[in-house]
Amino acid sequence: MSTDLSQFVKDKRKSSGLTQEELSLKAGVGLRFVREMEQGKQSLQMDKVNQVLKLFGYELGPTVINRSKLLDEKS
């Protein structure tokens, strides 16, 4: 999941013509947070992720997953 999110944010930022610093300022988060987000850090604060995503008209929310597949992966 983090890879998808990181690539999504990077693509949206670049297509908007923003640097990482500009994105951090517009979203009200730190530059380090934006860098970690784009690098696919596994643990990020959801409220800050949503601050960034809202600039592009998105937000995090629950999604349906295949529980049996998830349980199989843990075995």
> Would you list the domain boundaries of the chain?
2-74
Residue pair 5/43 in contact (Cβ under 8 Å)? The answer is no
The string of pLDDT tens digits covering residues 51-63 is 999 999 999 998 8
pLDDT of the residue at 1: 45
**Residue 75: strand, helix, or coil:** coil
Q: Which of 41, 63, 4 is nearest to 29 (CA)?
A: 41
Q: What is the pTM of this model?
A: 0.79
Tokens, residue 57: 């008209």
Spell out the CATH class of 2-74.
mainly alpha
